[in-house]
Amino acid sequence: MTYSSISFVAARQEQAQDALKVLIERYGLVPPEQADVIVALGGDGFVLETLHQNMALDTPIYGMNRGSVGFLMNAYDPDDLKARLNRTHGTDLHPLRMAAWDTDGKKHQALAINEVSLRRESRLAARLKILIDGVLRMEELICDGILVATPAGSTAYNFSAHGPIIPMGANVLALTPVSAFRPRRWRGALLPASVAVEIKVIDPDFRPVGATADFDEVHNVARAIISEDRSVSMTLLFDPEHNLEERILSEQFEL
């Protein structure tokens, strides 16, 4: 595909704003809804924010690293940008949809590109039941929390919690406990992307638990259902030598 009209967006950090001025001066600027591609200047958090903000546009997003973390970003270079964009490879992402009910019975919904996590909100450990497609798989997990991660998000919070790195296209999700106390040796599971993960909080009034789906937070959660929403698709663009599949693969061999 040929990308000719470019929309630039940037994080608030000085280096991102400086890059924004340089690129607009060289290539001009169109609104996101009129662009062939959106170039996001910042770090991983900012490109996730850009994906969320432009989810309804179905416009590819190309990140250039002007932040502190750049796993989802390409290297910053203001030269020959249009030619560079036309050489990119696209990776399609499908978010997780979280439906969470709080202790008052109110339902909350949100989308997550990286992960949905549940975590304790007091000094007391969380006590959780885990059901997969309605089948009880774990009667009680005592832990600080648990998360469901997509392949794109598997190198983020999931990896820090000792979860597996998942190659793009593997069509699986990671279910990873955070500081599991009992069963102490349980390290999580890899699940088909088609399943629905239901997490029920045991005694949520005494042991409060919160849920986070990327930028959305819900407090005092009683239960949550997490599943991949394939009706929503987003495209991230990567330079041929810097594609996401290769980055996920190489990350597993870094010490």
Q: Does residue 1 belong to any structural domain of this protein?
A: no
Dump pLDDT digits (tens) for 39-70: 999 998 899 899 999 998 889 999 999 987 66
Q: What is the DSSP letter of 45?
A: H
Which residue is catalytic, options 44, 104, 133, 214?
Answer: 44
How many distinct structural domains can be found in the chain? 2
Find all residues with CB under 8 Å of 101, minimum gap 6, and list them: 107, 108, 221, 222, 223, 224
**Averaged pLDDT of the chain:** 92
DSSP 165: P
49-62: burial string, b at 16+ Cβ within 10 Å, e else? bbbbebeeeebbbb
Tens digits of per-residue pLDDT, 13-23? 999 999 999 99
Residues 133 and 214 grouped into a single domain: yes
How far apart, in Å, are the Cα atoms of 4 and each of 24, 59, 64, 240?
14, 13, 17, 19
- What pLDDT, on the 0 to 100 scale, is given for residue 243? 62
218: domain CATH number is 2.60.200.30
Beta strands in 43-180 (DSSP E): 61-65, 89-93, 96-102, 107-112, 115-120, 126-132, 135-143, 145-149, 172-178
**Using alpha carbons only, how large is the chain's radius of gyration in Å?**
20
Check if 44 is active-site.
yes
- Residues 42 and 119 occupy one common structural domain: no
At 254 the pLDDT is 65
The reply to whether 40 and 51 lie within a common domain is yes
Contact 35, 237 (CB under 8 A): no
Tell me, yes or no, whether 41 and 54 share the same domain. yes
3-state secondary structure (DSSP) of residue 90? strand
Q: What is the dihedral of CA 151, 157, 162, 163, to 10 degrees?
A: -20
- Torsion, Cα 20 84 154 58, to 10 degrees, reads 80
Angle, CA of 204, 205 and 206, to the nearest 5°: 95
Using 50, 70 and 90 to split pLDDT, how confident is the model at 35?
Answer: very high
Residue 44's CATH number: 3.40.50.10330
Average pLDDT of 81-90? Answer: 93
Q: Is residue 105 part of a domain?
A: yes
User: Do residue 82 and residue 177 come from a single domain?
Assistant: no
What is the average pLDDT across 106-111? Answer: 97
Residues 6+ apart with CB under 8 A from 252: 165
Residue 170 within a domain: yes
Contact 167, 248 (CB under 8 A): yes
Distance CA 149, CA 188 (A): 11
The parent domain of residue 147 ranges over 96-228
Q: How far is Cα 178 from Cα 187, in angstroms, rounded to an integer?
A: 9
Q: Tens digits of per-residue pLDDT, 159-217?
A: 999 999 888 778 999 999 999 999 988 999 999 999 999 999 999 999 999 999 998 99
* Percentage of the chain modeled with pLDDT above 90: 76
